[in-house]
Amino acid sequence: MEAAGRLFFAPGSARVSMDDLARELRMSKKTIYRCFPDKRSLLAAVLDRQFAAVQRTLVAAAEDAEGQPFSVRVQRFLIAAGTELERIGAAQLATGRGGDAMLRRYVEQRVDAVIYRRVDELFRDGHRQGVLSAPPELLGEITRGALERLFTSRLPYELEWTAADLLRATVDTVLYGAIRSPGAAIDGERRLGAVIPTARDDEKEVGP
């Protein structure tokens, strides 16, 4: 499985075959087939192993942030998630290694189970605590869309940012907004919420 992970998920390895794996391991292909009936089942086993490692990292990140302010918990979780997804090559897997639609769906299911469901629960927890003004479902969809878009776009390369950097900026935008109040510090040390008109402000603006 370690050899399969190195070969099948390395950059530019879409055409790697079971024959290539057998040569790498210096064993007969029939020996591999005794454990895995086909390449797809082997890939699924490798992915299970990789996502199990991702899950352990995310659980550890959540435990380390326990007791911290909600914004810190969200930020640390998503940064850990982005770092892990980058490590296992999630962008390449999400597009379907070798054009395998079934593999792509499998990866989507694992990302949903390991990451997105935990993100949704985190936002629901924040809503229960009364620290979120927006619906947790909306924040979950925004975060999900941002993750998926960031890992399939050229933006990380154009900005020369890591996945963790991009997710940190995304989390800040989602939780704090991109518009600063007049006089707000711009050195990154002070964070303020987005300037969103309240109902009273609206009445003043449109009233007689």
Does the pLDDT value for residue 12 go beyond 80? no
CB atoms within 10 A of CB 105: 11
- Predicted TM-score (pTM) of this structure: 0.69
pLDDT-derived band at 13 (thresholds 50, 70, 90) equals low
**Ranges 16-30, 62-76, 80-94: which has the least confidence:** 80-94
Q: Which residues have CB under 8 Å from 36's CB, separation 6+?
A: 42, 45
Distance CA 104, CA 111 (A): 11
Mean pLDDT of all residues belonging to the chain = 76
**pLDDT digits over 135-187, tens only?**
899 888 888 887 777 766 777 678 777 766 777 777 777 777 766 655 544 44
* pLDDT (average), residues 72-99: 72
Distance CA 151, CA 134 (A): 25
The residue type of 173 is T
**pLDDT digits over 19-36, tens only?**
999 999 999 999 999 999
